[in-house]
Amino acid sequence: MNITRSIYLDNNATTALAPAALDAMLPYLSTEYANPSSASEAGASVKKVLGEARVAVGRLLGASPAELIFTSGATEGNHTAILGALSLIKGRRHLITSQVEHPSVLLMCQHLERLGIEVSYLPVDAEGRLDLADLRAALRPDTALVSLMWANNETGVLFPIVEAAAIAHDAGAFFHTDATQVLGKLPVNAAASGVDFLSCSAHKIHGPKGVGALFVRKGIALPPLFHGHQERGRRGGTENVPGIIGFAAAVRLLTNIEHEARYLQGLRDHFEQGLLAFMPCARIHGQDAERLPNTSNIGFIALDSEELLYRLEQEGITAAAGAACAAGGQEPSHVLTAMGFSKTAVLSSLRFSFGRLNRSEDVERVLRVLPGILLGMMDMPPMTAAGAAISCAH
């Protein structure tokens, strides 16, 4: 193992907690511990700070403070929106989602199917794109909700959320989006997008884990998942004050999202161009689709992604496999499978997701290390000529 500096390229999974977020949280983990529901002066002080945090997060999402519910994260937000929409429109027992959603949505839909709810799963093409004609065709008079992610966590491919929300509304259905991956990488405006519900998590933007937010459009009386008087009766349970404060602190660091997006895309493009220069047979999944500026999902010509991950880790480089480990062995990514790739191709894929803490030198080191690892996995000798490409005929 030869590690000079660890390189973290798994920012779609989670991000490092920003020092400013940690500093903001610490008083509320020690001295400022009052319950915001308390009538005491200390409780009122904490409640005031929570209100300020709600305003900050609302600004990031393009929402009014009254439209936000603080949650434990996007999974809770997703479940609240899905179950709430079903209960809001009586007699509608049909949902629409896509085949490439986050497991928190897909597993909830599968659970609801066992309870008699019908679910339509929209396909995607080989680039991971959604065809709005499929959405129009799937809508029915009894459709209660359309739930589509804004950006895919594995490929970074973006869905046409504004157009999809309008189509859902034309059919009298609610529209929900999981915006977890797009948050902080591209501008988000919940009000302008036309969505009814939007969920997100703090830990994807250098905030703490275990806290998130759900946008609920003004005028929609969404039933709570947890009953209680907190969050104006919309989400029971004492608020996670340190988490919410940390969330807001992370949000306040996002002063120029467009600039950050350009920076991330520069790192991603540098990586992809360098990779294709020595391995032209590598496939960039979703390359021709509109996608997040930081995400690169690469297919490595029938090489074992778990082995490749291990070898990268030995060099201090963290990425993510395009497959999840399940009981009984490795299972192919449902996202890449839905895009039409074979099991072999899917199990040969890695995701590299860049973040604001990455530098151009990180990309350079990955591009120096990767050819040797790939050649070693192919049982080929090291390249004898600088810049020589790895043969696609292997």
The residues that are catalytic are 325
CB atoms within 10 A of CB 136: 13
DSSP category for residue 204:
G
Task: Return the residue matching tokens 């920012």.
Answer: 11
Amino acid in the structure at residue 245: I
E strand or H helix that includes residue 50: helix 41-61
Integer Cα distance of 211 and 246 in angstroms: 9
225 contacts 80 by C-beta, under 8 angstroms:
yes
Integer Cα distance of 205 and 253 in angstroms: 9
Judge residue 393's burial from the number of C-beta atoms within 10 Å of its C-beta, 0-12 exposed, 13-18 middle, 19 or more buried.
Answer: exposed
Integer Cα distance of 201 and 77 in angstroms: 9
Pairing of strands 94-98, 143-147: parallel
127 contacts 289 by C-beta, under 8 angstroms:
yes
Question: Could you tell me the sign of the dihedral formed by the alpha carbons of 197, 203, 207, 208, in that order?
Answer: positive
| Torsion, Cα of 100, 102, 104, 106 (10° steps) | 0
351 contacts 295 by C-beta, under 8 angstroms:
yes
Complete DSSP assignment for 272-333: HHHHHHH-TT-EEETTTS-B-TTEEEEE-TT--HHHHHHHHHHTTEE-EESEEEETTEEEE-
